[in-house]
Amino acid sequence: MAEQTVNLQKSYSALNEKLVELFDSLGVRRSFTVPYIEGQDTDEHIRGVAQAASQTGGLTQNLVTTAHHSTGKGWGTGEGHTVGHPGDALRSTVIPKDYPQAKAAIKAAQKHLDNVSTFLGEDDPAVKTAQGQLDLVKSTDAAGMNLLDFGVMMIQVMHAPNQAIARAHNGTKPDAHHPVPTPPRGGAAAPQEQPEAPAGAPAAPEAQGAPEGQSEAPEAQEAAAPAPEAAPAAAGTSEEEK
């Protein structure tokens, strides 16, 4: 159980990391970057994210992702950050055909869903629905999608499986933390809650198989790009100040 939990946390962090790399690689300038700092509490980091976002239109104008640096000490350490990218710039940027960073993000999403599947089983309704959504995106490698649609879709695709596994985990171990990114206090990782998606952020277009009943990004994107457990408010830096 513990090993499965860590694998889920790592793979969800990796998906967020690949989304950041994709956005950066296509020239979308970050609105803000708030680094993790070892030993800081979640609420302090969230205040830091909110403070940094307030200088660039607020949380609703940015798509927020958070991840540990996989090339560093990895999950559970203070090496990572929460990043905001402006929704308007993401919406106006289209993913080219055969784009490596888009393929890498899709691969990371599949890896996370595979990890969820080992916990819930391949026949779990949430897993089957998410796999169907992901298969549609894989068929085109997201070519022609704008970055906002793609980023929100990756978040939405994982929303129901993450919630299902959290419920299953709680049912098995009532006093345990969620197997989605919710680290022990003081470990610089990402808990389950996060700021809202940009105002008007679309769900995956119907052609890409958006989950039925999810015409907008999930409220508060609970399992999407949560603020990690380890950076103080002062750590936030607006990219416009650099």
The CA-atom distances, in angstroms, between 24 and each of 18, 102, 176 are: 10, 11, 36
97 φ/ψ angles, rounded to the nearest 5 degrees:
-65, 140
* pLDDT score, position 49: 94
Q: Is the pTM of this model over 0.85?
A: no
Read off the pLDDT of each residue in 137-165 and give the average, rounded to a whole number.
Answer: 95
Predicted pLDDT at 170: 72
Q: How far apart are CA 55 and CA 92, in angstroms?
A: 21
pLDDT in tens, 31-81: 999 999 888 888 899 899 999 999 999 999 999 999 888 877 766 667 889
**Between these two residues, 98 and 2, which has the higher pLDDT value?**
98
Q: Are strands 32-35 and 80-86 parallel, antiparallel or unpaired?
A: antiparallel
| Average pLDDT value for residue range 15-34 | 97
Higher pLDDT, 186 or 72: 72
- How far is CA 234 from each of CA 49, 72, 77, 179, 229, rounded to the nearest angstrom? 9, 23, 19, 29, 14
More confident residue, 118 or 182: 118
The 8-class DSSP code of residue 187 comes to S
- Among the residues of the chain, which ranges form H helices? 2-25, 42-54, 87-91, 100-120, 125-138, 147-172
Mean pLDDT of the chain: 76
The residues spanned by each domain of the chain are 2-241
Range scoring the smallest mean pLDDT among 88-92, 116-120, 207-211: 207-211
**Is the predicted pLDDT of residue 184 greater than 60, yes or no?**
no
Using pLDDT thresholds of 50, 70 and 90, give the confidence band for residue 19: very high
Say whether pLDDT at 119 is over 90: no
